[in-house]
Structure 1
Amino acid sequence: MSDTHTLDVLTVDNLLVYDKFSGDVVAALPQNDVDGARDALARAVAAAPAAAKTARHERAAVLERAARILDERSENVAHLIVTEAGKTIRQARKEVSRAINTLKLSAHEATANAGEVIPFESFPGGEGRRGWFSREPLGVIVAITPYNDALNLVAHKIGPAIAGGNTVVLKPSPHTPLTAQLMVDVLVEAGLPDDVITVVRGDRSVAQALVSAREVRLVSFTGGFATGRAIAAAAGIKRLAMELGGNAPVIVFADADLDSAVSACVSGAFWAAGQNCIGAQRLLVQREMYERFVAAFVEATGRLVHGDPREETTDIGPMISASAAHAARQTVLDAVAAGAHLRIGGTVEGSVMAPTVLTDVPRTCTVWTEEVFAPVVVIEPFDSEEAAIEAANDSEYALQAGVFTQNLSRALRVADAIEAGGVMVNDSSDYRLDAMPFGGAKYGSMGREGVRFAYEEMTQPKVISILT
């Protein structure tokens, strides 16, 4: 996930929020300084004992009510996401529906994942003992969220945290603070005490003050590798849960259904203007199918409508900023200068980048080695299964991958060999169910998201043993 261009919306006194398509200022919000961040942290610390004692059914009821409120207001919320994050209206509606599900899943964890009975008598010497472990809250959690899923990724952090009985200091992306605040306001309206979640807005010094605080028990961060490294260096001895992006490969074998593979990969590459940490970035196609796949993929890409995200027919809206779009274009130009072939796209108008397809890309280029986080995809041929696996694994970053083949044995064999947190068979890399474990397999992999798994990261087992 991109680290770039996260401070260009901060002024001395206010955080300016822009319509990502028009560039118009839509809000000016007060920022917190370091002292304000420490005050927010103190509120979270003071509220933690009461949050921990809140009955599980009460936590679940708040989350369920919040899901209902969000559902009732879904269209208005979707339009806010369009304005603030730049997603197309159809994509924004899907994000709202996912966030509703995330809150419902969190409500379930609050009541269903309370602990387990321990079979002490399973080992000699344990006879006569009875007991269990319960899942207890950690205390204060700092959650730092990105702009690309401005609603659902907030839900993924604060939903499990509430379910576990914690308090949260939330620092949302400066690009999308309104959507994050809306989620918090909905939870408070649903009955959550307003000191359980405190929202902090500010620059890197504010973030550093939060993550380095001794009172914090876990930092949950979704964002770029450079920021993740800085957080890890500042955090000290505390739990870290980080989702730091990827560089997703998709392998397409010659026996795959061409139309299905092209359709899925076009969606996987360009969803949310490519600002998707599991988006398909490197498409590896068996040579027997390569030319047909490239031709079909380029044709399908050319049919995509890019522009105003409010239009129902728009497929690709703006990137998070014009500067991010121009930086992505420069990455493409650098690849072309190194010998890559630009098949389609590569142009930028304002903050909208046309969907871009590159072939013949040297593996030294940034578009091969790093997450581009833009509507840019690389297509490369391969000759053998072994070569495809080697190319797929040629990255330090490994969130998810995809494999297309009609051979089940091959699909399972290749899925086992790919180094990634998840492998989607006969689908693009970008499929995610909010209930499944989600995280990386290589550099930067720290913990798992997915509601049940985040809930378990945000709680700790406590053993009770009774000798009868």
Structure 2
Amino acid sequence: MVISVRTKVQGKQMHIAGKWVSSERVIEVRDPQDNSLIDTVPAATAEEMAKAIEAAKEGVKIAAEMPVHQRIAILNKTADIIERRKEEYATTIAREGSKTIREARKEVTRCIETIRISAEEARRIHGETIPFDQMPGSENRMGYYYRFPIGLIAAITPFNDPLNLVAHKVGPAIASGNAIIVKPATVTPLSAILLAEALLEAGLPPQVLTVITGNGSEIGDVLVTHPAVRMISFTGGSQAGLDISRKAGLKKIGMELGSNSPVIVLADADLEEAVESTVSGAFWAAGQNCLGVQRVYIEESIFDTFKDKFTARTKQYRTGDKLSEWTDMGPMITEKEAIRVETWVNEAIEKGATLICGGERNGAFYSPTVLADLPEDCTLAKEEVFGPVVMLYPVSDLEAAIQQSNSADYGLQAGIFTSNLEKAFSAIKHLEVGGVMINDSTDYRIDAMPFGGVKGSGLGREGIQFAIHEMTEPKVVCFKLPK
């Protein structure tokens, strides 16, 4: 919600290429749990975004000249600062978003790891020598290639990991000598501003980083279409991703667009482990997780047993106050999103799905929900729910499970629970995804691994080393020597 600065006390400022800046209008940042006002941030205009991009051009020059040892030192010091302020960062994540305090602390820990890995990878941006004499007539030539920064990167980040997903774009960008403009989610901008504070305190030249807050409908097109922006790194919904790709023009694009993640549970699996892992994977961050378990395909002979165990564990999930150490799941990001999930669940039930447990909404809270017997034509069966809802399906065998897993137009990660190595490798080969987790849910990730999907789940890969590769280009150098 955009309001006049005169009607509310001004809160946080945005950071534009070296300066902390206020705006004539502000956006209220509210806690989805009780709608209480946490703070305000500037609501930038299209004109302010254009000025920010022009100012960031100086940051491009500065970033490219920063020696590697300076990048390493800044990133390591940033991680130290975040570690010292860990509880402050965690509380901010929990208050402005959906995560419980325990979930938020884990995100801060991962952010620290992401920044430290970025520092390590800064020293490993390598090239190779090229044997030019492989071509007849080139016997007197020798050379190599090295990787150089592409320039100005635009990072558009979502609400569900408001600190670590920003770090996954900012850390590699700085490590590889680029300048970056971050446009955080409107509902969760405070964590990105905290990260900027740490980087600047650590000595990052201020022109290298911009964090600009505002509504995507007002400032997004300026950012993605501007010719000075050489790469767009976007995490968010598939429709927004398609819109960006149509508008961006001739520039690099990296996109993680979510999923409808499948998990396969075979009869030879450890059921206790499978249940615990898939319940956690389904309801982490109120299900608002691109890796969240949405579909579970269970071999018919164990379907009823798995369903009963899964349901019993789901009913033990404690929803409530995000800042309580005892809470397992908080609210969704807005009441509007909870209403959307409620609508999708009700549609499925009206078309014949069986509600096993959950299905209740209270404001922005939506209870952990388990469904079975889903018709193929309901929205839940085809789209990413991005909420605390999971569907259970009986299948005859692994082949049927793989076929159904691949039926959706998504392919981020999949999981399989089995003690049979041959079946595990069959799933690895045939599942159409960017990652297969064996005896783990889809919700497993470390920050150093390549991360991304196929089909409707996006383009390119994140994970520090792999993001750096996306954020740099190879330059060939060839010396013609005298004969």
Q: TM-score range by the shorter chain?
A: over 0.9
Q: Of 263, 274, 277, which aligns to 1:250?
A: 263
Q: 2: CA distance between counterparts of 1:18 and 1:45?
A: 33
Q: 1:161 aligns with which of 173, 191, 206?
A: 173
Distance across 1 between alignment mates of 2:327 and 2:131: 57
Between the aligned partners of 1:380 and 1:119, the Cα distance in structure 2 is 55
1:381 to 365, 387, 394: 394
Any stretches of 5+ residues in structure 1 without a counterpart?
Answer: 1-8
Post-superposition Cα deviations, 1:195-232, rounded to whole Å, max 9, x if no partner, equal 11111122213010110001110011000011111111
1:418 is the counterpart of 2:423: no
Q: Report the identity percentage.
A: 46
Per the TM alignment, residue 246 of structure 1 is displaced from its structure 2 partner at its CA by 0.5
* Alignment partner of 1:89 is 2:101: yes
Q: Provide the C-alpha distance between the structure 1 equivalents of 2:379 and 2:261, rounded to a whole number of angstroms.
A: 14
- 1:113 corresponds to: 125
1:71 maps onto 2:76 in alignment: no
Matches for 1:51-450 after TM superposition, within 5 Å = 51-122=63-134, 124-203=136-215, 204-450=217-463
Tell me how far 1:126 sits from its aligned partner. 4.6
Alignment partners' CA distance in 1, 2:384 and 2:456: 13
Counterpart in the other structure of 2:34: 22
Letter in 2 for 1:344: C
**RMSD (Å) for aligned C-alpha atoms:** 1.2
Q: Which residue number corresponds to residue 16 of structure 2?
A: none
Q: Partner letter of residue 397 of structure 1?
A: Y
CA displacement, residues 215-255 of structure 1 (integer Å, 9 cap, x when unaligned): 11001100001111111111111111110000000000111
User: What amino acid is aligned across from residue 49 of structure 2 in structure 1?
Assistant: A
Shift, 1:46, TM fit: 2.1
For normalisation by structure 2, the TM-score amounts to 0.93
Cα distance between partner residues in 1 of 2:371 and 2:438: 24
**Deviation readout 1:107-137 (Å, 9 max, x if unpaired):** 1121111322333345555544332211101
- What is the CA deviation profile of residues 54-73 of structure 1, one whole-angstrom value per residue up to 9, with x for unaligned ones? 10111111111101111111
d(CA) in 1 for partners of 2:140, 2:107: 52
Deviations 1:289-342 (A, max 9, x none): 100000000000000101111111111111101111121111111111110111
- Mapped partners of 1:18, 1:451: distance in 2: 32
The 1:262–1:23 alpha-carbon spacing in structure 2 relative to 1, beyond 3 Å, is same
**Paired residues of 1:331 and 1:367 also in contact (CA < 8 A):** yes
How far apart, CA to CA, are the structure 1 residues paired with 2:28 and 2:460?
33
Partners of 2:471 and 2:55 lie apart in 1 by 19
Give the structure 2 partner of residue 460 of structure 1. Answer: 473
Q: 1:72 to 1:448 in 2, by over 3 A?
A: same
Moved more, 119-128 or 251-260: 119-128
Report the number of matched residues. 460
**Retained in 1: the 8 A contact 2:157–2:236?**
yes
Structure 2 unaligned spans of 5+: 5-24
- 1:16 Cα deviation after fit: 0.7
d(CA) in 2 for partners of 1:129 and 1:356? Answer: 66
SS at match of 2:391: strand
Shift of 1:461: 0.8
Q: Deviations over 1:413-464 (max 9, x none)?
A: 1121000010101110110111111111112521111111111111111111
Give the drift of 1:48: 1.0
Show CA shifts across 1:57-101 (max 9, x none). Answer: 111111111011111111111011110112011111110010011
Deviates most, 110-119 or 35-44: 110-119
**Displacement, 1:146?**
0.4
Whether the 8 Å contact between 2:411 and 2:457 is mirrored in structure 1 is no
* Residue 59 (structure 2) aligns with: 47
Deviations 1:395-426 (A, max 9, x none): 00110000111100110011210000101011
Query: Retained in 1: the 8 A contact 2:75–2:202?
Result: yes
TM-score by length of structure 1 reads: 0.96
- What code does the residue aligned with 1:55 have? P
Q: What is the identity, as a one-letter code, of the residue corresponding to 1:430? A: D
Deviation, structure 1 residue 105: 1.0
Where 2:227 maps in the other structure, the secondary structure is coil
**3-state DSSP class of the match of 1:26?**
strand
Q: Which amino acid aligns with 2:34?
A: S
Q: In terms of mean alpha carbon deviation, does 17-26 or 111-120 score higher?
A: 111-120
- Deviation string 1:256-277 (CA, Å, 9 cap, x unpaired) is 0110100100011111110000
The answer (yes or no) to whether the contact 1:10–1:174 under 8 Å persists in 2 is no
Separation of aligned partners in 1, 2:476 and 2:408: 41
Residue identity matched to 1:57: H
Distance 1:151 1:191 in 2: 19
Distance across 2 between alignment mates of 1:235 and 1:211: 5
SS at structure 1 position matched to 2:327 = coil
The residue type equivalent to 1:314 in the other structure is T
Counterpart residue number, 2:20: none
Aligned-partner SS, 2:455: coil
Tell whether the 8 Å contact from 1:403 to 1:415 is kept in structure 2 after alignment.
Answer: no
Distance (Å, rounded) in 1 between the aligned partners of 2:462 and 2:309? 35
The DSSP-based 3-state class of the residue aligned with 1:156 is helix
Distance in 2 (CA, whole Å) between partners of 1:422 and 1:320 is 27
What CA distance in whole angstroms lies between the structure 1 residues aligned with 2:151 and 2:68?
Answer: 15
Code of the residue aligned with 2:301 in structure 1: it is E
Equivalent residue, structure 2, for 1:6 = none
